[in-house]
């Protein structure tokens, strides 16, 4: 409600009250009209001055402060000072919106704090495990004084493996940190994704045989599909996803890779027929150190950062990655890449309409 309207209503109420009292005692309509006119005029100016000086001006100041805080200094300076004509109603709305915004920010901060605590707990555990193992092997060698050569050799090999695990952890953490800060540039180039997949398959063929898992490139193309991305980063994505399928696959199983051409993107899917993932775990799957099966993950090894690195690389390309899975049947990880314009058209290639 506008200030003048509010003051006029208040003054009218006072004038009517005094006029009624005057009529009760005098019973003269002329005196009533004079009383009403003088009272409404005096009351209006008195109330307007008092409310403007001691109430309304302070409400406007509060409104301006809240409004400027919401906008921020840069945007406020660009727009200039903002004073609403009706701050009483507007300040209520501003306060409600501000309170809602702050509640949302507090909720986000709580989530970030929980994530920070979980991250510190996980990284502490990840580092303590190999460090304690190394410490134990060294103490055993010191106690034995290297008399049992065979045992010393075995302990040194195990200590070396734990040192390697620490190195992987530090390397992966450093890589994620650089990806997040943008220190690692994305070197875009045009290349055939088919050829890269074949190269990755060849490099992981021996490892696949060790896990007794067969690698399958589902589609066969007469012509290559050209994408625009960082070739070495996408190689790392493919290696991490396929390696993950080895760790959680089943013996005598398979890992297949499929390509689907979209309008301006290429969808790459890596599918395994392993143990699968419960649906409740899927939203957190790309978090650092997050493991759905902790006991088995520890036995398998790895830094626990592979999927987090994959997510950062794909997002650095301004593309998306997703996962769908059924427990006991397997999982499918899919990510998109920008399709180079020169690839149009491709016969004999399955095209998905977006």
Q: Answer yes or no: pTM beyond 0.95.
A: no
Share above pLDDT 70 across residues of the chain, in percent, rounded to a whole number: 75
pLDDT at 319 over 90: yes
Q: Can you tell me the distance from the alpha carbon of 255 to that of 257, in angstroms, rounded to the nearest whole number?
A: 7
Closest CA to 238 of 318, 313, 157: 313
Q: What is the mean pLDDT of residues 276-286?
A: 85
User: 187-336 has which fold?
Assistant: Heat Shock Protein 90 (3.30.565)
Position 189 scores a pLDDT of 93
Task: Name which residue leads in pLDDT, 24 or 241.
Answer: 241
DSSP 286: T
DSSP 351: B
Q: Can you tell me the distance from the alpha carbon of 184 to that of 182, in angstroms, rounded to the nearest whole number?
A: 5
pLDDT tens per residue, range 52-67: 776 766 666 666 666 6
pLDDT tens per residue, range 203-212: 999 989 988 9
- As a whole number of Å, the end-to-end CA separation of the chain is 51
The H-assigned helical ranges of the chain are 3-26, 29-51, 57-71, 73-79, 87-144, 149-181, 193-210, 231-247, 294-300, 306-316
pLDDT tens per residue, range 157-187: 888 888 887 887 787 777 777 777 777 788 9
| CB-based contact 78:93 (threshold 8 Å) | no
- Range with the lowest mean pLDDT among 112-121, 161-170, 301-310? 112-121
What residues does each domain of the chain span? 1-68, 114-179, 187-336
| CB-based contact 231:305 (threshold 8 Å) | no
Strand order in the sheet with 265-272: 213-217, 253-261, 265-272, 330-338, 321-326
Position 248 scores a pLDDT of 86
Closest CA to 286 of 251, 353, 334, 214: 334
Give the largest CA-CA distance in the chain.
Answer: 125
- Range with the lowest mean pLDDT among 80-94, 174-188, 206-220, 266-280? 80-94
Q: Can you tell me the distance from the alpha carbon of 172 to that of 301, in angstroms, rounded to the nearest whole number?
A: 14
Position 255 scores a pLDDT of 93
pLDDT tens per residue, range 209-247: 988 999 998 766 567 889 999 999 999 999 999 998 998
Position 53 scores a pLDDT of 72
What one-character-per-residue DSSP string does 135-162 give?
HHHHHHHHHHTT-SHHHHHHHHHHHHHH
Q: What is the mean pLDDT of residues 192-206?
A: 92
Do the domains 187-336 and 114-179 match in fold? Answer: no
Question: CA angle, corner 229, sides to 224 and 234, nearest 5?
Answer: 85
Q: Does domain 114-179 have CATH number 1.10.287.130?
A: yes
Q: Can you tell me the distance from the alpha carbon of 167 to that of 24, in angstroms, rounded to the nearest whole number?
A: 97
Position 226 scores a pLDDT of 92
């Amino acid at each position: 409600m506008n200030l003048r309207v509010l003051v006029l209503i208040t003054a009218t109420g006072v004038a009517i009250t005094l006029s009624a009292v005057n009529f009760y005692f005098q019973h003269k309509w002329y005196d009533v009209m004079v009383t009403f006119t003088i009272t409404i005029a005096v009351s209006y100016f008195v109330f307007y001055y008092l409310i403007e000086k001691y109430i309304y001006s302070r409400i406007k100041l509060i409104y301006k402060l809240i409004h400027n805080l919401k906008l921020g200094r840069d945007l406020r300076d660009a727009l200039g000072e903002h004073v609403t004509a009706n701050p009483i109603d507007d300040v209520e709305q501003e306060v409600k919106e501000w309170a809602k915004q702050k509640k949302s920010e507090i909720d986000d901060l709580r989530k970030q704090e929980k994530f920070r605590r979980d991250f510190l707990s996980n990284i502490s555990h990840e580092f303590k495990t190999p460090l304690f193992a190394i410490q134990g092997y060294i103490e055993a060698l010191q106690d034995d004084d290297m008399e049992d050569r065979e045992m010393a050799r075995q302990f040194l090999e195990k200590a070396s493996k734990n040192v390697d695990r620490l190195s992987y952890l530090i390397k992966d953490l450093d890589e994620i940190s650089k990806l997040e800060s943008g220190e690692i540039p994305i070197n875009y180039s045009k290349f055939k994704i088919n050829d890269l997949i074949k190269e990755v398959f060849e490099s992981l063929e021996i490892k696949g045989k060790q896990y007794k898992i067969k690698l399958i490139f589902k589609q066969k193309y007469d012509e290559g599909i050209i994408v625009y991305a960082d070739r070495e980063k996408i190689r790392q994505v493919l290696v991490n996803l396929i390696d993950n399928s080895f760790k959680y696959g089943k013996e005598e199983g398979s890992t297949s890779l499929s390509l689907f051409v979209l309008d301006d993107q290429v969808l790459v899917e890596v599918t395994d027929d392993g143990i699968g993932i419960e649906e409740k775990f899927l939203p957190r799957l790309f978090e650092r150190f997050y493991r759905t099966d902790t006991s088995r993950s520890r036995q398998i090894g790895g830094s626990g950062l592979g999927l987090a690195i994959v997510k950062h690389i794909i997002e650095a390309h301004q593309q998306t990655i997703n996962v769908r899975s059924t427990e006991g049947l397997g999982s499918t990880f899919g990510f998109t890449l920008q399709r180079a314009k020169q690839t149009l058209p491709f016969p004999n290639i399955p095209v998905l309409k977006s």
